[in-house]
A = this chain, B = another copy of it.
């Protein structure tokens, strides 16, 4: 299983033309020194292997063979490290969902979007969980990144209300799956399909 992550395999924007309503990825200034990159790399490794509780400044520093206070030469706070982690995760998820819009396929755009969204969120499970903690400093994310990452849901429905409903469905499915909230033995594929079909019909029938 190869890690599917930003800095390790930098996500590049495909040079395809935009669909109606599709946003372009916002420019995010990447001026990472090698040490900063190593720090978020170590943080991600710990986060994915042992979960959010294990992500402490001392553990991150340990992995790099330095002391915790030295991390503050590179990041202003632990929150800033988390923001860097989530920024990469959002970029990767957004990249995947945007490109799912353009891939041809036998299934509907909604189904393709949902499949891509689920796959990427599960692949970045720990980061996704981190981003949905209420203590996460969402307001320090790069401007426009969240909007861009959510944009495919607008493209695929063509209606703001339906887009938010579809996004909520997808987000809810992912969160409940990652937190193990469905009873054991649940057929989650069937639940995803059922939701996809409901929203496909809602878009094809028109709003009112």
Complex formed: what's the CA distance from A180 to B138 in Å?
10
Q: Please give, as numbers and ranges, the residues of chain B lying within 8 Å of A202 by CB-CB distance.
A: 194, 197-198, 201
- Which residues in B have their C-beta under 8 angstroms from that of A140? none
Which residues of chain B have C-beta atoms less than 8 A from A51's C-beta? 134
Query: Are B160's CB and A187's CB within 8 A?
Result: yes
Select from chain B the residue with minimum beta-carbon distance to A126: B134
Contact B161 A194 (CB under 8 A): yes
Greatest chain B CB density within 10 A among A181, A186, A201 is at: A181
A contact residues, total (Cβ < 8 Å): 48
Residues in chain B near residue A207, CB distance under 8 A = 194
Question: Does A173 have its Cβ within 8 Å of any Cβ on chain B?
Answer: yes
Docked pose: A181 CA to B161 CA in angstroms: 14
The answer to whether residues A172 and B179 also contact, given A187-B161, A198-B202, A202-B197 and a CB cut-off of 8 A, is no
Contact of A205 among B183, B195, B201 (CB under 8 A): B201
Q: A164-B173, A164-B176, A168-B173 are in contact. List 11 more A-B contacts (CB 8 A).
A: A133-B134, A134-B178, A160-B191, A161-B190, A161-B193, A164-B194, A165-B194, A169-B195, A171-B172, A198-B201, A198-B202
Interchain Cβ contacts under 8 Å between A and B, 8 examples: A133-B133, A134-B178, A161-B191, A162-B198, A164-B173, A165-B194, A168-B173, A169-B195
